[in-house]
């Protein structure tokens, strides 16, 4: 089907885009590889020694047995050939629909191996990527997983519907997944199974671009914004710009997740463990330590959400709200370019001051350092580069109206932005130390 795959991949690379291929562990009977696998015993088998087959995905398909070392090497060999062509990564689809009336090469208990199969499948692919691309470049995009699969990031939530009820289920499922030891999670923006309406496409775009990683995906239509309406293009553009602008913050949080295991997206009660109301909030989440997101789940734009106690600043428009005592429920109506995205008090958010055409840029150069509702005391925020290395730090010491800011590792032209109540004070930063008084 592809007369010049190497040339095609090169042309894509020349545009600054990396290439991921879709793969799965199944081989249909019509494939020329099927007979080879059958003859060499690379498939899961029935008790009588025949290949275990079914038609659920491809007619007469067999399932590669990753407990067979020869089958593993055979599978790695085909993927290695693709990597040598220039492929950068793989999307490892399926792996969860594994039968329990089978015989494994190593004699594994098929019921215990049912979940473990997905681990073995992704382990084979991830370790090959590390070997061929290096540890800092190995990534796959997995659908199935089990205990330990967080070592082979990243994952997404599988097939969903282009309906608000499914969008809500997607949020709940993702938060449950993230509470199960996983750090990063995504979903099919717009839903997978149906034609998405322009309305739900725009609402899901807001949610999707404020997730750890973002992908549009549909089974019966292309999920490109210009297929819907001009406003969908505008929404996609603006929330893409927002994500690119937030990359210094997002990537620092991603590095923190990799080091600690604390999920980058998380339910409210992980941040507010003593607030009993937060345990029942299932359609909001924190994106990193400091930013709380509430997707809109209605055609009218009406949304009801919970703000825990504290001082909050709207990321998108700068609105300020102070919540006292035990928290409050807020009811609002949002258009497609707005969303409840709140920054909690005592937060330092570093974001880009300039527009970039890629998420890869110098995260410590030409930035805005936003300080949100800081209390008296010392506040710190690390800076990382695109490889996850710590390259600097922002330290803010506040004493009443006086701010002393120490900067390490910053380059270019930077701006300090102090948010205090409804006031916003901006100060150009020159050097590695700044002192100012905010009245």
Residues labelled catalytic:
93, 96, 159
> How far is Cα 290 from Cα 200, in angstroms, rounded to an integer?
27
Residue 33 contacts by C-beta under 8 Å, 6 or more apart in sequence?
A: 27, 78
b/e 366-394 (16+ beta carbons within 10 angstroms → b): bbbbbbbbbeeeebebbbbbeeeeebbeb
Between CA 178 and CA 184 the distance in angstroms is 7
DSSP state of 231: H
CB distance 275 to 304 below 8 Å: no
Residue 34: CB atoms within 10 Å: 20
- Compute the distance between CA of residue 48 and CA of residue 430 in angstroms, rounded to an integer: 76
User: What is the four-CA torsion angle of 206, 209, 214, 217, rounded to 10 degrees?
Assistant: 20
Residues 6+ apart with CB under 8 A from 341: 210, 291, 292, 293, 294, 314, 315, 316
Q: Break the chain down into helix, strand, coil percent, rounded to 5.
A: 30, 25, 45
How far is Cα 426 from Cα 436, in angstroms, rounded to an integer? 10
- Cβ(392)–Cβ(382) under 8 Å? yes
Give the Cα separation of 148 and 401 in Å (integer).
48
Q: Where are the alpha helices (DSSP H) in 160-278?
A: 164-178, 198-208, 230-245, 247-260
Structure tokens at 168: 């809500």
Q: Pick from 171, 121, 175, 173: which is nearest to 144 by CA?
A: 121
Pair 403, 369: CB distance under 8 Å: no
The residue ranges of DSSP E strands in 136-194, in sequence order, are 140-142, 188-189
CA distance 64 to 27: 8
């Amino acid at each position: 089907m592809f007369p010049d795959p190497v040339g095609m991949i090169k042309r894509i690379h020349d545009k600054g885009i990396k290439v991921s291929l879709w793969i799965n562990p199944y081989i249909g009977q019509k494939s020329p590889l099927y007979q080879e696998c059958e003859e060499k015993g690379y498939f899961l088998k029935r008790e009588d020694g025949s290949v275990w087959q079914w038609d659920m995905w491809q007619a007469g398909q067999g399932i590669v047995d990753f407990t067979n070392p020869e089958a593993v090497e055979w599978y790695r060999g085909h993927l290695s050939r693709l990597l040598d062509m220039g492929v950068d990564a793989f999307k490892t689809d399926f792996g969860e629909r594994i039968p329990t009336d089978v015989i494994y090469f190593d004699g594994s208990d098929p019921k215990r191996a049912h979940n473990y199969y997905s681990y073995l499948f992704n382990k084979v692919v991830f370790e090959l990527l590390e070997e061929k691309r290096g540890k800092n470049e190995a990534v796959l995009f997995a659908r199935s997983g089990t205990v330990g699969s967080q070592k082979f990031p990243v994952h997404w939530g599988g097939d969903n519907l282009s309906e608000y009820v499914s969008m809500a289920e997607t949020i709940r499922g993702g938060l449950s997944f993230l509470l199960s030891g996983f750090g990063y999670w995504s979903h099919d923006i717009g839903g997978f199974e149906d034609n998405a309406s322009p309305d739900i496409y725009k609402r899901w775009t807001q949610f999707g671009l404020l997730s750890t990683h973002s992908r549009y995906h549909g089974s019966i239509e292309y999920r490109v914004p210009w297929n819907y309406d001009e406003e969908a293009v505008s929404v996609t553009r603006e929330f893409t710009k927002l994500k690119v602008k937030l990359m210094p913050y997002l990537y620092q949080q991603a590095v923190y997740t990799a080091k600690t295991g604390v999920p980058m997206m998380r339910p409210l009660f992980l941040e507010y463990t003593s607030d009993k109301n937060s345990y029942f909030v299932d359609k909001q989440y924190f994106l990193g330590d400091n930013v709380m997101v509430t997707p809109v789940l209605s055609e009218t734009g009406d949304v009801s959400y919970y703000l825990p106690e504290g001082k909050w600043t709207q990321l998108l428009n700068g609105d300020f709200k102070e919540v006292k005592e035990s928290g409050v429920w807020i009811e609002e109506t949002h258009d497609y370019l707005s969303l409840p995205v709140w920054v909690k008090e005592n937060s330092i958010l570093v974001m880009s001051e300039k527009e970039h055409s890629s998420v890869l840029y110098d995260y410590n150069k030409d930035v805005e350092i936003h300080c949100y509702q800081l209390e008296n005391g010392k506040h710190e925020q690390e800076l990382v580069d695109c490889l996850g290395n710590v390259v600097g730090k922002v330290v803010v010491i506040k004493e009443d109206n006086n701010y002393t800011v120490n900067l390490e590792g910053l380059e270019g032209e930077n701006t300090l932005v102090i948010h205090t109540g409804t006031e916003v004070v901006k100060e150009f930063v020159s050097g590695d130390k700044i002192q100012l008084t905010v009245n």
